[in-house]
Amino acid sequence: PRHPHLPTSATPFPHCSPGTSPGRLPPFPPPKTLTTPRTAAMEQANPRAGSARNRKVVLRDYISRAPREDDMALVDGGAVPLRVPEGAAGPAVLVKNLYLSCDPYMRGRMRDFHGSYIPPFKPGSVIEGLGVARVVDSTHPGFVAGDIVSGMTGWEEYSLIDKPEQLNKIQQSDIPLSYHLGLLGMPGFTAYVGFYEICSPKKGEFVFVSAASGAVGQIVGQLAKLHGCYVVGSAGTNEKVELLKDKFGFDAAFNYKEEPDLTAALKRYFPEGIDIYFENVGGPMLDAVLLNMRMHGRIAVCGMVSQHGMTDPAGIHNLFCLVPKRISMKGFIQSDYINLFPQFLDYMTKHYKDGKIAYLEDMSIGLENAPAAFVGLFSGKNVGKQVVCVSQE
């Protein structure tokens, strides 16, 4: 098998019913079935129930450039009843959001483009993303008030989830709840799938990770080290470079902003060439990597953050290297591998508790700071996985 903790022939796991698998998060649902918070319906809830003010972050309008803070607005959504509305079309769950995840893919949802794997946001509506929340009220038999859940929610203080079967119940432990948005969530699973399923690593191979101190990159590098590989990462500040070596155990790391010739830099760190490249940035870095790949190398294309803010994305000049070097280059989305999520969760939880995996998050406090936290992703301001704490109650 490609991974020592996976069976030779991995078989799909049935989607767990809410609450039936204590201590384990079921797989993330495919993006096409993401939950949409129905704040409007909350306005029609039982008027005798208690209520609370509900601030929210909305998208002002579609953009075709790098996001700015003023592309989003913090608005007062008025008072919302703290009960699921009577007469709802089906079971629903009202949650109080505790932590929100800032992820680069959300930039794509700010475009007026409907041909992606996930639909765009709607201008004037609340921004949606992954979050951890506490159940306030529920008409779904799998959830009760006080449960802690993760899944798609709104960038607001309270959200009504009208597809609660897509929520994952979290069994609380000594691992911080916010880690279910990173280490034990979508970024961690992306790293796991990309490295083991796409890259098919072998012990002793040479691995390069770009944007290596980010939510995904920091985990990829550690998985590679656990697998017996030689690992080098790139980052955009000297502070991040030191973190890669001292905290995450990379064999070497460099600040790409201080390298006038990326091709020469990679040749210096990989004199024998690169077997595996975990691609997070695109642009000139990808071009330099292609020239330094070894025969039968593998490239897992997770993202290209350098291209997110460009109206005219830069092209790649060295793709012909794929032919003589027989390089495999593949893009992927983690939700295509949801059958592996239970194994991932067991593996990552064990290695974190055993001290074999380190994790770093960058937490902003307050819903009002969510736009700045998100925008900072695209200039490298975050150090580790970017999350926003809305409430700790």
Q: Could you report the per-residue pLDDT of 80-108, keeping only the tens digit for each?
A: 999 999 877 889 999 999 999 999 889 98
Q: Could you report the per-residue pLDDT of 45-62, keeping only the tens digit for each?
A: 444 459 999 999 999 999
How far apart are the C-alpha atoms of 65 and 307, rounded to whole Å? 10
Residues 146-162 have a mean pLDDT of 96
Q: Could you report the per-residue pLDDT of 24-33, keeping only the tens digit for each?
A: 333 333 333 3
Q: Could you report the per-residue pLDDT of 194-207, keeping only the tens digit for each?
A: 999 999 999 999 99
SS (H, E, C) the chain: CCCCCCCCCCCCCCCCCCCCCCCCCCCCCCHHHCCCECHHHHCCCCCCCCEEEEEEEEECCCCCCCCCHHHEEEEEEEEEECCCCCCCCCCCEEEEEEEEECCCHHHHCCCCCCCCCCCCCCCCCECEEEEEEEEEEECCCCCCCCCEEEEEEECECEEEECCHHHCEECCCCCCCHHHHHCCCCHHHHHHHHHHHHHCCCCCCCEEEECCCCCCCHHHHHHHHHHCCCEEEEEECCHHHHHHHHHCCCCCEEEEHHHCCCHHHHHHHHCCCCEEEEEECCCHHHHHHHHHHEEEEEEEEECCCHHHCCCCCCCCCCCHHHHCCCCCEEEECCHHHHHHHHHHHHHHHHHHHHCCCCCCCEEEEECHHHHHHHHHHHHHCCCCCEEEEECCCC
Q: Could you report the per-residue pLDDT of 260-292, keeping only the tens digit for each?
A: 999 999 999 999 999 999 999 989 999 999 999
Q: Which domains does the chain have, with CATH numbers?
A: 52-182+360-389 (3.90.180.10), 186-338 (3.40.50.720)
Q: Shortest CA distance to 72 belongs to which of 376, 379, 392?
A: 376
The predicted pLDDT at position 4 comes to 40
Overall residue count recorded for the chain in this entry: 393
Q: Shortest CA distance to 324 belongs to which of 295, 349, 351?
A: 295
Q: Shortest CA distance to 40 belongs to which of 156, 166, 168?
A: 156
pLDDT grade, residue 309 (50/70/90)?
low
